[in-house]
Chains A and B, each alone.
Chain A
Amino acid sequence: MSGNHGDILAYVPLLVLIGVSTAIALAMVVGSFLLGPKKPTAYKATAYECGMTPIGSARERFPVKFYLIAMLFIVFDIETIFLYPWAVTYRAQGYDLKIFYFAEMLVFVAILFVGYFYILGRRALDWDESERAVARDPISPEILAPRPPIRFGNEKSGPVRRLPEPAHVPAYGAVSQEERIAALTSRRE
């Protein structure tokens, strides 16, 4: 029974810590509540929407994807929870038991991996479902591949080196600085 109590008594300082944290948090709220001035005006109290009058309710519905993420999180969280006792006890086992432990958890995780591949196959983790995004993975090698640097002419290091003119106009419509200035000035005139 003594070991039992020894284990549990170790939590008492943690309770004290939570108490102290609560005191700190309350002191912060009460302190600013007491010290700060209170001059409420109608404009101050409106919700911030970049200076415009707020439109509609703020408590809108939101995409079902958040719900799906939370749901999948629960499943994988439970899986991780099972892994903790396994990882803690694994090393202390003898060789034969270790093989058993390894196989046992491998089956468990393999079954879950079937579900994981199902999620990937149904594209349930793809956040953006527009055609363009579905067409390619957001961090595919194609996107991560190095591109020629875009230069703006205000780099600090050394004189600006002119890039060789591209064979075609880049997708985002960047033109050289001189051309842009020329276009802007001609439009203004």
Chain B
Amino acid sequence: MLILFWILALTCVGASIAMVVTQNPVRSALYLVITFLCVAVFYVMLSAQFLAAVQIIVYAGAIMVLFLFVIMLLNLGAPQALRERGTLQPFFAAVLGTAFVVMLLLSNSLVALSKVRPAAPPEVYVPLGTVEGIGKNLFDPKQPWILPFEITSILLLVAIVGAVIMAKRRIQDHTP
């Protein structure tokens, strides 16, 4: 299990770095897909099986397909033309990234040093990550998730309206 974790962790980080560094946008998107797949396996290893399936179906299977479509739609041309010059973006990105890594290391070592221990795993195994577990918790009237769940629907409605308005406006602009 630990060996698998390290292989996946290195693949995941490597793919992420490759995604940022690669000039070709399509390849970059593919590296992001690899990162998503690694994250999905991490979810499985954490017993969040349903989340792993959702990660693959929604992120890798739907959102990244949209990304690929957009990359092809824009036809970004030669990778050289894409390179931004004279912006401070790489600098800030590097600073913030380093800060994030430092923060993670600090928080981990602080937890290790302090007397506070993470809560012990419950005696009775509660399969929260399975489909049944998610369903029981998400739809149960005793749980507070009903309102967020219904609001998600409104969020999706807004997404529909936004997508249609943007796409249709373009078409109407092109055809007078």
Seen from chain A, the residues whose Cβ lies within 8 Å of a Cβ on chain B are: 1-4, 7-8, 11, 59-62, 64-68, 70-75, 77-79, 81-82, 84-86, 88-89, 97, 100-101, 104-105, 107-109, 111-112, 114-116, 118-119, 122, 124, 129
Q: Is B144 an interface position by the 8 A CB rule?
A: no
- Whether the pair B69, A82 counts as a contact (CB closer than 8 A) is no
CB atoms of A67 and B73 under 8 A apart: yes
The answer to whether A118 touches B168, judged by C-beta atoms less than 8 angstroms apart, is no
Establish whether residues A115 and B70, one from each chain, have CB atoms under 8 Å apart when the complex forms: no
Query: Which of B44, B73, B168 touches A8 (beta carbons < 8 Å)?
Result: B44
- Which among A4, A60, A101, A118 is the interface contact of B160 at CB below 8 angstroms? A118
Residue of B57, B70, B74, B146 touching A81 (CB-CB under 8 A): B57
Question: In residues 74-133 of chain B, which contact A (Cβ within 8 Å)?
Answer: 74-75, 121, 125, 127, 130-132
User: By DSSP majority rule, is chain B's interface helix, strand, loop, or mixed?
Assistant: helix
Contact-residue bracket for chain B? 35 or more
Let me know if B11 is at the binding interface, CB within 8 A.
no
Q: What residues of B have a CB within 8 angstroms of the CB of A105 in the complex?
A: 139
> Known: A67-B73, A97-B141. Is A112-B131 also a contact (CB below 8 A)?
no
Contact of A115 (CB < 8 Å), options: B127, B157, B175: B157
Q: How far is the CA of A11 from the CA of B46 in the complex (A)?
A: 12
CB distance from A25 to the nearest CB of B (A): 16
CA distance A29 to B58 in the complex (A): 30
Known A-B contacts A75-B159, A112-B156; A122 and B168 likewise in contact (beta carbons under 8 Å): yes
Q: Is the CB of B131 within 8 A of A88?
A: yes
Q: Which residues of B contact A68 (CB under 8 A)?
A: 163-164, 167
Number of A-B contacts (CB under 8 A): 143
Question: Chain B 146-176 against A: per-residue CB contact (8 Å), 1 yes, 0 no?
Answer: 1001101110110111011001101100010
Whether A112 contacts B44 by the Cβ 8 Å rule is: no
Across-interface contacts of B149 in A (CB, < 8 A): 82, 104, 108
Return the contact of B136 from the options A59, A67, A89, A116 (Cβ within 8 A): A89
Are A101 and B139 in contact, with the CB atoms below 8 A?
A: yes
Q: Are B134 and A64 in contact (CB under 8 A)?
A: no
CB pair B156 A85 closer than 8 Å: no
CA distance A81 to B54 in the complex (A): 7
Given the interface pairs A1-B121, A89-B139, the reply to whether A112 lies near B157 with Cβ below 8 Å is yes
In angstroms, Cα B129 to Cα A3, docked, is 12
Bound-state Cα–Cα, A186 to B150, Å: 73
| B72 with A62: CB separation less than 8 A | yes
Name the one of A8, A62, A88, A109 contacting B45, with C-beta atoms under 8 angstroms: A8
**B49 proximity list for chain A (CB < 8 A):** 7
Q: Is B17 an interface residue (CB 8 A)?
A: no
Shortest Cβ distance from residue B125 to the other chain A in the assembled complex, whole angstroms: 4
Which one of A66, A81, A122 lies within 8 Å of B164 (CB-CB)?
A122
Contact B132–A74 (Cβ < 8 Å): no
Residues on A with C-beta less than 8 A from B138 are: 82, 85-86
**Bound complex: CA A181 to CA B171 (Å):** 46
Question: Across the interface, do A104 and B73 meet the contact criterion of CB distance under 8 Å?
Answer: no
The answer for the CA separation of A79 and B175 in the assembled complex, in Å, is 33
- In the complex, the chain A residue whose C-beta lies closest to that of B72 is A62
